[in-house]
Chains A and B, each alone.
Chain A
Amino acid sequence: MSVVNIEGLYYKFKEDYVLEEIDLTIEKNEFMALIGPNGGGKTTLLKHILGLLKPDKGSIEVLGLLPGKANKIGYLPQRSSYKSNFPISVFQVVLMGRYNHFLKNYDKIDHKMALKTLKKVDILDLKDKHIEKLSGGQLQRVLIARALVRDPELLILDEPTASLDPQFQGKFYELLSKLKKEMTIIMVSHDIGVVSSYVDSIACLNRKIYCHGPVEESVEELEKAYQCPIDLIAHGLPHRVLRNHGN
């Protein structure tokens, strides 16, 4: 069963199409990197999958349901969507990822999961801290924990490594490689070089999907998406890309 199934999606912002004729199928346990130039519509596409935006044309199915109805989704937004001086502790932020429905209090299992997930991302010692007192990297880990704590079937990460400290970055990718056995992962990233050695497939998006497939096959198509390709591939994709992926 495919986890995400998008057919003929169009999305217009004011006069112009931001997304055009998007067809995209993501299979179960696929780890997909979504790449493309800034303003290419990556976050917009994620928001359609999350049900935050409605397409003008076309259909989306997520985990067999309409987007917004699927509940088993973990989401790491880009920095801008929350307030970093909000009066709340690290633990409470992570607990929010366990939100279930009206009138249901966070129970023992929710608390246990929150602690377990904080441990997974190595910040258990920060659990009672005010989020305002955290560094950018620590805060990002809190939000990663908030996304993971749901035990999601689909994990959506919007530039997860943007503000991660370098020490944790490697560990984070290792964690994702482990997680992909249990879930499907979509990750927006600019870090094409690193990403390519961990993911199963790459989709390049610049208003249209230029390619979606295993890493090697996608590389050539990258240039079409980026439009100034040679530069980027030479700098952004180190040699190991073509070596590491035989499957």
Chain B
Amino acid sequence: MLEFLQYQFMQNAFLAALLVSIACGVVGTYVVIKKIVFISGGISHAAFGGIGLGFFLGINPVLTAIPFSALSAILIGALAKKVDISEDTAIGILWSVGMALGILFINLSPGYAPDLFSYLFGSILTISNTDLIIMLVLVLTILLIVGLLHREFTAISFDEEFAEVVGVPTKLIYLILLALVALSVVVLIKAVGIILIIALLTIPAAISRQFTYKIPQLMLGSVVLGMVLTMAGLWLSYVFDLASGSTIVLVLAIAFLITFFLKKKFDIIK
């Protein structure tokens, strides 16, 4: 059963799955409890503009995706707070503008972009050593920021107004949180693809939220669940020769359904 691990690309895929689980477990917890799922969706789609820019400039698209998605995260946050438009409108605009820019850049790029689909739908099997190093740096950055600012993130997620009163710079912390989402989006891009990122940012946290109300446990649970389920999805996709990103997401969704009904049943027994 483990013979597939002897391939370099499989080893890379598993390391990637590990990093992906950490990023989505930690950041996904805030995405779920702060209820910023659709902002995160907007940020992940806007990141496609950064991917396109990478193709256009002829450099690693993951590298250009970092400033691009971070910038769009901050733009969504700032637009919604400063200008008199609602947040979901800001999300909608940046979501589509990011995608449009990405396609335009690729259009203008010389030649053909063969692995374009891998950024849209993910291809965890083509992750290179360079990609892994970028992902590792991003994950460490995420962990460092959360380690330093978790009190502030929890405070603004629970009660923004009260947080402001006790001296939390809520607007700044909110923008940092969105930037964190942007970083995790970049970690996830190659593994599951832009279109499926939101599944990994929400489903593990949504599952473990049903079983605990303590945020550290929630994060740890999401990370472990993310690991087990992405590995399972990866293995299934290998065995049945299916698209890896889609298989991972479907495994997550099935796990959510099972735990949801189990939880319901247990609650009735209690």
Q: Which residues of A come within 8 Å of B, CB atoms?
A: 50-52, 71, 73, 75, 77, 81-83, 86-89, 92-93, 96-97, 99-103, 105-106, 130, 132, 146, 150
Give the Cβ gap from B97 to chain A, nearest Cβ, in Å.
29
Complex Cα spacing A88 to B160, Å: 15
Q: Is B162 an interface residue (CB 8 A)?
A: yes
| A82 engages B167 (CB within 8 Å) | no
- Whether A86 touches B161, Cβ cut-off 8 Å, given contacts A102-B152, A103-B148, is no
| A100 engages B167 (CB within 8 Å) | yes
Number of A-B contacts (CB under 8 A): 72
Complex Cα spacing A197 to B88, Å: 48
| B165 engages A82 (CB within 8 Å) | no
Give the Cβ gap from A162 to chain B, nearest Cβ, in Å.
17
| B213 engages A75 (CB within 8 Å) | no
- Not counting A86-B33, A96-B159, A102-B152, a sample of 10 additional A-B residue pairs whose C-beta atoms are within 8 angstroms of each other reads A81-B161, A86-B158, A87-B215, A88-B154, A88-B215, A92-B154, A96-B151, A96-B155, A96-B163, A102-B148
| A89 engages B213 (CB within 8 Å) | yes
| A77 engages B167 (CB within 8 Å) | no
Q: Is B166 an interface residue (CB 8 A)?
A: yes
| B215 engages A77 (CB within 8 Å) | no
- A-B pairs, top 10 by smallest CB distance, nearest first, are A82-B159, A130-B213, A87-B213, A99-B166, A81-B161, A75-B165, A86-B158, A50-B165, A96-B155, A81-B159
Q: Is B190 an interface residue (CB 8 A)?
A: no
Q: Which chain B residues lie closer than 8 Å to A150 at the CB level?
A: 166
Q: Is B157 an interface residue (CB 8 A)?
A: yes
Complex Cα spacing A57 to B212, Å: 48
Complex Cα spacing A102 to B173, Å: 11
Q: Which chain A residues lie closer than 8 Å to B166 at the CB level?
A: 71, 75, 96-97, 99, 150
Q: Which chain A residues lie closer than 8 Å to B158 at the CB level?
A: 82-83, 86, 88, 93, 96
Complex Cα spacing A150 to B155, Å: 15
- Whether A86 touches B167, Cβ cut-off 8 Å, given contacts A77-B162, A81-B162, A146-B162, is no
Give the Cβ gap from B260 to chain A, nearest Cβ, in Å.
16
Complex Cα spacing A92 to B162, Å: 14
| A81 engages B160 (CB within 8 Å) | yes
| A52 engages B214 (CB within 8 Å) | no
A-B contact pairs, 9 of them (CB 8 A): A50-B165, A51-B165, A75-B162, A75-B165, A81-B161, A82-B162, A87-B212, A99-B151, A99-B166
| A87 engages B161 (CB within 8 Å) | no
Q: Which chain A residues lie closer than 8 Å to B151 at the CB level?
A: 96, 99, 105-106
- Whether A73 touches B165, Cβ cut-off 8 Å, given contacts A82-B159, A93-B158, A102-B152, is yes
B160's closest neighbor in chain A, by CB? Answer: A81
Q: Which chain B residues lie closer than 8 Å to A92 at the CB level?
A: 154
Give the Cβ gap from A65 to chain B, nearest Cβ, in Å.
12
Q: Which chain B residues lie closer than 8 Å to A82 at the CB level?
A: 158-159, 162
Give the Cβ gap from B37 to chain A, nearest Cβ, in Å.
14
Give the Cβ gap from B214 to chain A, nearest Cβ, in Å.
7
| A96 engages B214 (CB within 8 Å) | no
| B155 engages A99 (CB within 8 Å) | yes
Q: Which chain A residues lie closer than 8 Å to B17 at the CB level?
A: none
| B165 engages A88 (CB within 8 Å) | no
Most buried by A among B161, B162, B163, B167: B162
Give the Cβ gap from B138 to chain A, nearest Cβ, in Å.
22
Complex Cα spacing A158 to B166, Å: 16
Give the Cβ gap from B41 to chain A, nearest Cβ, in Å.
20
Interface members, chain B 147-184 (any A CB < 8 Å): 148-149, 151-152, 154-155, 157-168
Q: Is B45 an interface residue (CB 8 A)?
A: no
Q: Which chain A residues lie closer than 8 Å to B218 at the CB level?
A: 87
A47's closest neighbor in chain B, by CB? Answer: B161
Give the Cβ gap from B212 to chain A, nearest Cβ, in Å.
7
| B214 engages A89 (CB within 8 Å) | yes
Complex Cα spacing A77 to B161, Å: 8
Complex Cα spacing A87 to B215, Å: 7
Q: Which chain A residues lie closer than 8 Å to B35 at the CB level?
A: 83
Q: Which chain B residues lie closer than 8 Å to A71 at the CB level?
A: 166-167
Point out the residue from B148, B152, B159, B209 that lies within 8 Å of A77, measured CB to CB: B159
Complex Cα spacing A99 to B164, Å: 10
Complex Cα spacing A51 to B165, Å: 7
Give the Cβ gap from B178 to chain A, nearest Cβ, in Å.
18
Q: Which chain B residues lie closer than 8 Å to A103 at the CB level?
A: 148
Q: Which chain B residues lie closer than 8 Å to A73 at the CB level?
A: 165
- Whether A86 touches B162, Cβ cut-off 8 Å, given contacts A99-B168, A100-B167, is no
Most buried by A among B157, B160, B167: B167
